[in-house]
Amino acid sequence: MKQRPEARAAAALLSSAVIRSVISDSEPHAKADAAVARLNRFGMTAGVTSMRSLVWRCDRYLRQHYRSDHVYRTAVLRDVSGQGSVVLPEFRAGESLADMLCVSDVAHAIEIKSELDGIGRLRKQLDDYRLIAPRVTVVGSRRLIDRISDDPELRMVGLATLTDPGDGLVHLRVARDDPTRLDPVTMFRSLRRAEYLSALSNIGVTIPALPNTAVFSFAKQAVSTVDSARFNREFVRALSTRAPKLTVRTFGRAPLPLRPALLRLNPSGEQVRRLHTWLETEIPHVHA
């Protein structure tokens, strides 16, 4: 799928880079203003009165004409909202990064493959995800899902695609839990120091007085002897306590098309207030 310049301009307005410039106290909206200027050149600001309306126009354009990674991420966040999950973007799993890791009572890794992505690395990515998460789902175009749906190695993997409007998901196969591939050392490497020390303490492992440089090696060795299912429970417990700066209530007030960027940026309350001020700015008053 060839990317039109209009699609590139629409995607730019919704990107993390532009939203970072909006919420920053050191960047005077330069990237945001440049993005609006590009949209104006393509006539995409005509009839739009506020930045909030322009955000939604860009989202609709992408869903209709260019279903990029952003469209898929937005649909996934709509799908998981209200489930009480902690959603962690770009989460390290072995040698791969899961697009999202949703943590509730179980870890659920989500891999997104848009129309622009290939599947050459997909098997390796899913193998890595199953080292930390018993539940894995691939969200992709219908063509891609059809290519992998009969793979016997992926029979436990959930499969989902976009609805026709592109604003939600259709679950073609629900992910089934597969704890047989969990690896405690891989889970350990994905945790922060305080998290893995707490996890070890909860299962009765005491870390002796060691130099900081030796604690990691000792902890890694200790984890390697722990039952994988037991450590996965502590892994989930540790991740479920990660407290984003963005509260559920505040996150829910943000326009859905901006939530993928906000999830990455994890803004403070003051930064969110700057965002809402910008969203109510009238288009003619935006310097372009």
Average pLDDT, the chain: 91
The pLDDT confidence band at residue 1, using thresholds 50, 70 and 90, is low
> 119-175: per-residue pLDDT in tens?
889 999 999 999 999 999 999 999 999 999 999 999 999 999 999 998 899 999 999
Quote the CA–CA distance of 140 and 150 in Å, as a whole number. 15
Q: According to the model, what pLDDT value does residue 94 have?
A: 95
Measured from the Cβ of residue 42, the count of other Cβ atoms closer than 10 Å reads 16
Buried b (16+ CB within 10 A) or exposed e, 139-156: bbbeebbeebeeeeebeb
**Which residues, 6+ apart, have CB-to-CB distance to 11 below 8 Å?**
58, 62, 66, 68, 70
Segments making up each domain of the chain, as ranges? 5-66+247-285, 73-179, 183-240
Q: Yes or no: is domain 73-179 CATH 3.40.1350?
A: yes
At 250, the pLDDT band (50, 70, 90 cuts) reads: low
- The pLDDT value recorded for residue 288 is 43
Q: Which of 288, 277, 259, 285 lies closest to 22, judged by CA? A: 277
pLDDT at residue 27, rounded to an integer: 66
* Residues 254-273 pLDDT 10s: 899 999 999 999 998 889 89
Stretch among 11-20, 33-42, 219-228, 245-254 having the lowest mean pLDDT = 245-254
**What are the tokens at 241?**
């306590």
Task: Count Cβ atoms below 10 Å from residue 255 Cβ, excluding itself.
Answer: 18
The pairing of beta strand 135-140 with beta strand 158-162: parallel
The pLDDT tens digits for 191-226 are 999 999 999 999 999 889 999 889 999 999 999 999
- Predicted structure pTM score: 0.90
Residue listed under structure tokens 């609006």: 36
Distances (CA, A) of 7 to 234, 240, 288: 43, 36, 19
- The answer to whether 69 and 11 have CB atoms below 8 angstroms apart is no
Q: Report how far residue 178's alpha carbon sits from residue 131's, in angstroms, rounded to the nearest whole number.
A: 10
